[in-house]
A = this chain, B = another copy of it.
Amino acid sequence: MNENRNCPRGTNSAESAVTGEFPHSRRAYLTGSRPDLRVPMREILLTDSPGGDGAAKPASIHVYDTAGPYGDATLCCDIRSGLAGLRENWIAERYDTETYSDPALLSEKSNCAGRGSGAGAFPVSRAPRRSRSGGNVTQMHYARQGIVTPEMEFVAIRENQRREGADTQQQTPHPVREGGMSRPAVITPEYVRSEVARGRAIIPLNINHPEAEPMIIGRNFLVKVNANIGNSALASSVMDEVEKMIWAIRWGADTVMDLSTGAHIHETREWILRNSPVPIGTVPIYQALEKVAGVAEDLSWDVFRDTLVEQAEQGVDYFTIHAGVRLEHLPLTSRRLTGIVSRGGSIMAKWCHAHRCESFLYTRFEEICEIMKAYDVSFSLGDGMRPGSLHDANDEAQFAELKTLGELTRLAWKHDVQTMIEGPGHVPLHLIRENMELQLEQCHEAPFYTLGPLVTDVAPGYDHITSAIGGAMIGWLGTSMLCYVTRKEHLGLPDKDDVKEGIVTFKIAAHAADLAKGHPGARLRDDALSKARFEFRWKDQFNLALDPEMPQRLHDLTLPAEADKASHFCSMCGPDFCAMRITRNIREQAGA
């Protein structure tokens, strides 16, 4: 990444289509205790016409920004060279890691069968880094020793969104009834440390992914959203996936999972990692399965371990590992309507069934921990038994696995390995609370990371909505990160439009949850937008929206003229029937 302010932007197709600042927005940085700790935010500039109430008005509002360097118009990003290593110094300064020259990551090791169109190896190679002599380099390990890392400070500044200056007291007059947390009004680096030490939050940051901007996943922080990308054997190229990643973070994805299963799985991941400012998650068993030509029975600990090391060396920040799928759980699925619907879960179930023994993910779990802590890869303990239909929700198989995941969490914590727990799936509204409460209890408050949940099975083609309903609900009750679902769920691989729509939909769910949890300052943006609406500042209303393009486009369908951006009505009600206009008239008369 060149910090050349005059560089031509958009020379690469993957980048040009998906970057650039939003209208009336600019990149702002808040600097922490050291000059290289600069936390990015998006500052939305308001026009704010003078109102009648004489109250002081902010000229701008700062919002959380996941776009990374792509959201800074003064930077030039070349995806062939990758992003700058923001955290390189922080990692090196700790003097607990070393680079080495015999990496497992050589792409010869990976499965590169000639299906699909590859983009070739990533042009820049570098030596991977790992902990020195079996040491532990996880954020949890530091936190438990009382060390506040730059990563923790970065996270604290980022979570506050500059709301220290705002009158948050005035902004949250409503009593909070649910999900009441022990969160302070202003997040401090020390508070971040304590939550990570406690295991109630994770900062997924592999030391080999120094490009990543620190973020935190935990229920006392903002609810996060993950976007899944990745090609399948049937569709999409490497460049498509890099473009999807950049596109996803533009719209607010806090982490991205690369679920590629087809050809060029290693190269695709390398291109994504080197260009990603957000943590990247994977499901390593997918690549392991490719290495054994798709025959689940042929999987082995050796193949899996090598895959873990290969991906850890590349910089993957969290691994979904379905270590909770146990032999004794398999018969519990026999009365299910839709069996096992987790890809990783079904692969491991097949292996267990074929070998009639406990999976190596379970029996070798502490060996896996040793790898995780040498690179600071976080666990995302997969729910291989998640229900794939309402019929199967909250059943014995699901909860038996959850109990196992709780035991594994304790084991991971013994090694100071950061851990979150994946959750369902398809669950009707009235069974969501039981999921959340059991997860908190059995997994000792490790962060919950849920797919949806989808609250009905009858709406394929609209499952972004069925799952956002469940997502908002479970986020309110305590889930830390929501995995987005696109409208292509159950039907096919999402394209760019599906990705954007899925993310915006889940940002709505996550924000609704933040509001309901009474997150300090969560309502600042709502209030600013509603004020703009009431004052007919149409452009401010558009610019403050989660997606500024959509409302402007919809508004302009009927009132395209520039003058109508100042109109005191819209085409929904027309001029005579605008309630806001009438209310303003009443107020003006009352004041006169």
Contacts and interface: CB of A to CB of B under 8 A. Distances in A.
Contacts of A456: 508, 511-512, 515, 526
6 closest A-B pairs by beta carbon, nearest first, are A461-B550, A339-B583, A389-B530, A429-B516, A233-B574, A346-B582
Interface string A441-464: 000000000000001111111101
Contacts of A261: 573-574, 576-577
Given A390-B526, A459-B507, 8 more contacts: A174-B430, A177-B431, A337-B531, A339-B587, A390-B515, A455-B472, A460-B545, A492-B571
Contact of A489 (B177, B505, B572, B582): B572
A338, A391, A457, A574 — most chain B CB neighbours (10 Å): A457
A559 interface: yes
Interface string A269-290: 0000000000000000010010
Interface in A455-505: 455-462, 464-466, 468-469, 472-473, 476, 487-493, 495, 504-505
Given A393-B174, A460-B542, A492-B570, A286 B577 contact: yes
Given A339-B580, A466-B508, A551-B461, A430 B176 contact: yes
A530 B531 CA distance: 45
Contacts of A286: 577
Interface string A163-199: 0000000000010111100000000000000000000
B533 A338 contact: yes
A102 to B, nearest CB: 31
A513 B466 CA distance: 12
B555 A585 contact: no
A340 interface: yes
Interface of A is mostly: helix
A179 B428 CA distance: 14
Given A232-B577, A455-B515, A523 B391 contact: yes
A497 B311 CA distance: 45
A547 B466 CA distance: 13
Interface in A7-46: none
Contacts of A398: none
A262 B575 CA distance: 11
Interface of A: 174, 176-179, 232-235, 261-262, 286, 289, 294, 296, 330, 333-334, 337-343, 345-347, 349-350, 353, 388-391, 393-394, 426, 428-431, 433-434, 455-462, 464-466, 468-469, 472-473, 476, 487-493, 495, 504-505, 507-509, 511-513, 515-518, 523, 525-527, 529-531, 533-534, 541-542, 544-547, 549-551, 553-555, 557-559, 570-580, 582-587, 589-590
B391 A527 contact: yes
Contacts of A390: 515, 523, 526-527, 530
B574 A455 contact: no
A333 B333 CA distance: 56
Nearest to A179: B430
Q: Among the interface residues A330, A458, A488, A507, which one has the most CB atoms of the partner chain B within 10 A? A: A458
A364 B551 CA distance: 41
B391 A572 contact: no
A352 to B, nearest CB: 9
Nearest to A504: B462
A340 B582 contact: yes
A458 B511 contact: yes
A238 to B, nearest CB: 16
